[in-house]
Amino acid sequence: MNPIMYMGLVLLTTSLMGSSFTVGKMGLAYMSPLLLAGCRFTLAGLLMAVWVMKRPLPASAPDWARICLIGFFQTAGVMGCIFLSLRTITAGESSILTFINPLLVVIWGTLFLGTRYRFSQWLGVLIGCVGVAVTLGLHLQWKAGTILGLGSAVCWSIATILIKVWGDRFDVWVLTAYQMLFGGLLLLVAGATLEPTKLTITPASMLIVLYLAIMASIVQFAVWFYLLHRGDPGRTSAFLFLAPFFGVLSGWMILGEVVEWYVYVGGLLIFIGIFLVNWTAAGQRQNSRSAANMTGR
């Protein structure tokens, strides 16, 4: 792929990831958190389900159950925690906490999949954890949004492990569509039963939902999966550190959010940690392919 096109698509998808935190916070003026997240992903899931109708669907009930479990963590868990966290912390802080998930994937992969990682990757985990502590201000007076922001990262990392184990069973677009749809429906039910429902329908609120469903969900997923397919997944994943940068930047530009100095320092450490974890993994895969080519395998 042309390097300029590659970087352009990386900037597009990570800016959509990051800006969704700010636009989501704007949406809370019109809708309650879980309801807003539910509308976003139910709409996105329905549109994608129509798009993938001709692709092979899961043939068994256990496979549909696996998709639902992935949707529970990837969409309902991650997005429910994010939108609830935005009530008490800034969009920038929520995005930074959410994107520590690659560091958690290393830990879960070691504990549950027996994956072996190099020293530099574990160093990345350590630096990332220090970054989280610094981001939180090195104190124990956590806000509810802080816990929820970390919860979104935990849910995302669990979903990543589940996709790693089960992903080959499904067409990637079918999995994406139906996990979003199932997770979105769960969020709608939770929004109707677990929180005081707020719904204000205006042109602004409809534009926010459409942006979140189409640009920040469908387009963002499509570009991201395209990049993972056309390039090295590990190297591409290293650019995830740009997403919280765009989250902080958009929160500052659009909402006028004030971010304390230690959030920037902690965020930088988290980015370095994620970079070490992902970039090292990319190097390992590249070396493995090179060795295979040299031996004719």
CA dihedral 72, 76, 77, 80 (to 10 degrees): -170
Indicate if the alpha-carbon torsion angle 259, 253, 205, 95 is positive or negative. Answer: negative
Q: How much is the pLDDT for 290? A: 39
8 Å CB contact between 270 and 93: no
To 5 degrees, how large is the angle CA 257–CA 263–CA 264? 95
CA-based nearest residue to 83, from 25, 31, 39 = 25
Question: What is the C-alpha separation between 242 and 121, in angstroms, rounded?
Answer: 19
Place of tokens 């990319």: 282
CA-based nearest residue to 1, from 186, 188, 223, 272 = 223
Question: What is the C-alpha separation between 128 and 122, in angstroms, rounded?
Answer: 10
pLDDT above 50 (res 295): no
Here the tokens at position 88 are 């008490």
**What 3-state DSSP class applies to 199?**
strand
Question: What is the C-alpha separation between 212 and 179, in angstroms, rounded?
Answer: 16
Residue 5, classified by CB atoms within 10 Å of its CB into exposed (0-12), middle (13-18) or buried (19+), is: exposed
pLDDT in tens, 168-177: 888 888 998 9
Inter-axis angle of helices 91-98 and 242-255, to 10 degrees?
170
Domain boundaries along the sequence of the chain: 3-295
pLDDT above 50 (res 288): no
Average pLDDT, the chain: 83
pLDDT above 50 (res 201): yes
Confidence of residue 35 (pLDDT cuts 50, 70, 90): very high
**What 3-state DSSP class applies to 44?**
helix
pLDDT in tens, 121-159: 888 878 877 877 776 665 545 678 888 988 999 998 898
To 5 degrees, how large is the angle CA 179–CA 23–CA 153? 50
Here the tokens at position 140 are 């124990």
